[in-house]
């Protein structure tokens, strides 16, 4: 059920150079299944606008009256401008929950959680849910996290602690721009290369994949080639709001079209440069 709620910003924490955690307090308990997202309505000088964000609280407790967002700065972004200059007390409205990126029913062999950057956010409550209730449903759980370098490895302490206390949990952090590994949990290259090091079974393993749309397409292509069906690879692309709008409404204003074309040209150029 999709109901409107209000929330107030109570805490901001810098997680890396470009990423912050925003904690919001709510008056009532918000329903969500770990892995889902809400649509937040913000207000700035030009009026109201909406953006989607995964709930990224690491500790699940039904009595909690807060939710955490893990947000990466986007240059020129409207929500970025508002949030990265916000003070505690900022009010937002939100509706949800939405999304199919949740733990599967039943038992499976290996569960893979694959993310780039802030695509890690929905996996934080999922890991909490696994630890407290659900890890027995899988022989093992593997988190594959793609980041550019060590400085972007957010929630490092928490993930390494989980790795040392949970024998069902395995972590691989893939650095695309580091020259050397930083520990037994690290690997050089993209998450797609790390995937090929696992013994995968298309009828028994299950994938949840979240973050950069290009990474998701690459991972999905690899898995399809290994005969994984779409029901075993649940994907959530962090598309830009203007693309999300197109997906929902199927149309764009000419202003949005011009903005999208301009930004996609810049973004494609940036990817080519980075590669
Ligand atoms: C289901 C879902 C869940 C999401 N969850 C999260 C989350 O947990 N954390 C999070 O940080 N984000 C998340 N996002 C992305 C988020 O909704 C916003 O798109 C993002 O924060 C940028 O918003 P903005 O208003 O700052 O930028 P916008 O004003 O929307 O964008 C400014 C311009 O930059 C371009 N642009 C936008 N994003 C990028 C980018 N990443 N790289 C290059 N160019 C870009 C756009 O084309 C646009 O023209 C999610 C998206 C979806 C669809």
Question: What are 40-73's pLDDT values in tens digits?
Answer: 999 999 999 999 999 999 988 767 799 999 999 9
Question: Is any atom of ligand 1 closer than 6 Å to the C-beta of 9?
Answer: no
What angle (nearest 5°) sits at the alpha carbon of residue 22, between those of residues 18 and 26? Answer: 165
**What does the DSSP 8-state code read for residue 31?**
P
- Per-residue confidence (pLDDT) for residue 59, from 0 to 100: 85
Q: Which fold has domain 108-237?
A: Rossmann fold (3.40.50)
- Per-residue confidence (pLDDT) for residue 170, from 0 to 100: 97
* pTM given for the model: 0.89
Ligand 1 mutation target, pool 77, 96, 102, 252, most atoms within 8 A of CB: 77
Confidence of residue 268 (pLDDT cuts 50, 70, 90): very low
Name the residue with the closest Cα to ligand 1, atom 47.
Answer: 263
Cα 163 to Cα 169: distance, rounded to the nearest angstrom: 6
Question: What are 8-26's pLDDT values in tens digits?
Answer: 999 999 999 999 999 999 9
- Per-residue confidence (pLDDT) for residue 64, from 0 to 100: 76
* Stretch 196-213: mean pLDDT: 97
Question: Is any atom of ligand 1 closer than 6 Å to the C-beta of 245?
Answer: no
Question: What one-character-per-residue DSSP string does 78-132 give?
Answer: HHHHHHTT--TT-EEEEEEEE-S-SPPSS-EEEEEEEEEGGGGTTHHHHHHHIII
Q: Is the pLDDT of residue 271 over 50?
A: no
- Per-residue confidence (pLDDT) for residue 1, from 0 to 100: 56
Ligand 1 mutation target, pool 41, 123, 238, most atoms within 8 A of CB: 238
Cα 51 to Cα 66: distance, rounded to the nearest angstrom: 18
- Per-residue confidence (pLDDT) for residue 272, from 0 to 100: 32
The hierarchical CATH code for the domain 3-98 is 2.40.30.10
Name the residue with the closest Cα to ligand 1, atom 17.
Answer: 52
CA of 71 to the centre of ligand 1 (A): 9
Question: Is any atom of ligand 1 closer than 6 Å to the C-beta of 79?
Answer: yes
Q: Is 62 exposed, middle or buried (0-12, 13-18, 19+ CB in 10 A)?
A: exposed
């Amino acid at each position: 059920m999709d109901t409107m709620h209000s929330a107030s910003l109570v805490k901001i924490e810098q997680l890396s150079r470009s990423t912050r955690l925003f904690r919001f307090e709510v008056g009532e308990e918000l329903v969500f299944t770990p892995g889902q997202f809400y649509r937040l309505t913000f207000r700035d000088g030009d009026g109201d606008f909406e953006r989607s964000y995964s709930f990224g609280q690491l500790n699940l407790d039904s009595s909690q009256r807060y939710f955490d967002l893990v947000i990466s700065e986007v240059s020129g972004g409207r929500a970025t401008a508002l949030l990265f200059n916000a003070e505690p007390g900022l009010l937002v409205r939100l509706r949800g929950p939405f999304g199919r990126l949740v733990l599967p029913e039943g038992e499976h062999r290996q569960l893979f959680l694959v993310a780039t950057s802030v695509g890690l956010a929905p996996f934080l409550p999922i890991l909490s849910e696994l630890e407290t209730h659900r890890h027995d449903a899988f022989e093992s759980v593997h988190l594959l996290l793609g980041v550019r370098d060590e400085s972007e490895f957010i929630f490092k302490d928490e993930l390494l602690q989980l790795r040392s206390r949970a024998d069902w949990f395995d972590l691989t952090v893939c650095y695309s721009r580091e020259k050397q590994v930083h520990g037994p949990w690290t690997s050089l290259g993209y998450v797609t290369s790390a995937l090929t090091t696992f013994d995968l079974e298309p009828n028994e393993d299950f994938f949840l994949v979240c973050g950069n749309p290009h990474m998701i397409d690459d991972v999905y292509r690899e898995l399809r080639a290994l005969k994984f069906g779409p029901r075993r690879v649940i994907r959530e692309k962090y598309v830009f709001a203007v693309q999300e709008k197109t997906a929902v409404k199927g149309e764009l204003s000419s202003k949005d079209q011009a903005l999208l074309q301009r930004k996609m040209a810049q973004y494609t150029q940036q990817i080519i440069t980075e590669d």
